[in-house]
Amino acid sequence: MKNGMGSTAFAFRGYNTLNLGRTPELLEHAAYGPVLERILREFSEANSVWVGRDLKLVERVRERRETTLADYADAIVLIVGAALGQLKLLEQFFGVKYQSARMAMGYSLGEVAALIASGTLDREEALRTPLALSEDCIALADDVTLGVLFARGHQLPLDEVHRQYLHINAEGNGVMGISAYLAPNSVLLMGQRDTLDRFNRRINEKVTERLYLRKNEGSWPPMHTPITWERNIPNRCAKMLHTARGGFAAPSPPVFSLVTGDFSYNDYNAREILHRWTDQPQRLWDAVAETLEKGIETVVHVGPSPNIIPATYHRLSDNVTGQLQKSIGMRAVSNIVRRPWLKSLLPARTALLRAPMMKQIILEDWLLEQTP
pLDDT digits (tens, 9 = 90+) for 137-146: 999 999 999 9
Instruction: Grade residue 109 by pLDDT with cuts at 50, 70 and 90.
Output: very high
Residues 338-366 have a mean pLDDT of 75
Query: What are the two backbone dihedrals, phi and then psi, of residue 212, each rounded to the nearest 5 degrees?
Result: -125, 145
> In sequence order, which residues have a C-beta less than 8 Å from that of residue 237 and are 6 or more positions away?
129, 133, 274, 275, 278
Average pLDDT, the chain: 93
* Euclidean distance between CA atoms 244 and 262, whole angstroms: 24
Instruction: Grade residue 345 by pLDDT with cuts at 50, 70 and 90.
Output: very low
- What is the per-residue pLDDT for 75? 97
pLDDT in tens, 231-284: 999 999 999 999 999 999 999 999 999 999 999 999 999 999 999 999 999 999
- What is the per-residue pLDDT for 353? 82
Domains of the chain: 5-126+244-369 (3.40.366.10), 137-227 (3.30.70.250)
- What is the per-residue pLDDT for 347? 58
**Beta bridge partners of residue 105, listed in sequence order:** 11, 256
Predicted confidence (pLDDT) at residue 344 exceeds the cutoff of 80:
no
Predicted confidence (pLDDT) at residue 2 exceeds the cutoff of 90:
no
141 or 345: which leads in pLDDT = 141
- What is the per-residue pLDDT for 117? 98
Q: Is the peptide bond before 253 cis (omega within 30 degrees of 0)?
A: yes
348 or 53: which leads in pLDDT = 53
- What is the per-residue pLDDT for 322? 78
Q: Order of strands across the sheet with 176-183?
A: 176-183, 186-192, 144-151, 211-215
Answer whether 199's CB lies under 8 Å from 156's CB. Answer: no
Q: What's the Cα-to-Cα distance from 64 to each of 15, 34, 328, rounded to whole Å?
A: 17, 17, 49
16-43 burial: b if 16+ Cβ within 10 Å, else e: bbebbbbbbbbbebeebeebbbebbbbb
Residues 149-160 have a mean pLDDT of 94
Predicted confidence (pLDDT) at residue 183 exceeds the cutoff of 50:
yes
- What is the per-residue pLDDT for 323? 72
Element (H, E) at 320: helix 308-325
Percent above pLDDT 90 for the chain: 85
Helix, strand, coil percentages for the chain (3-state, nearest 5):
50, 15, 35
Predicted confidence (pLDDT) at residue 334 exceeds the cutoff of 50:
yes
Predicted confidence (pLDDT) at residue 200 exceeds the cutoff of 80:
yes
Instruction: Grade residue 341 by pLDDT with cuts at 50, 70 and 90.
Output: very low
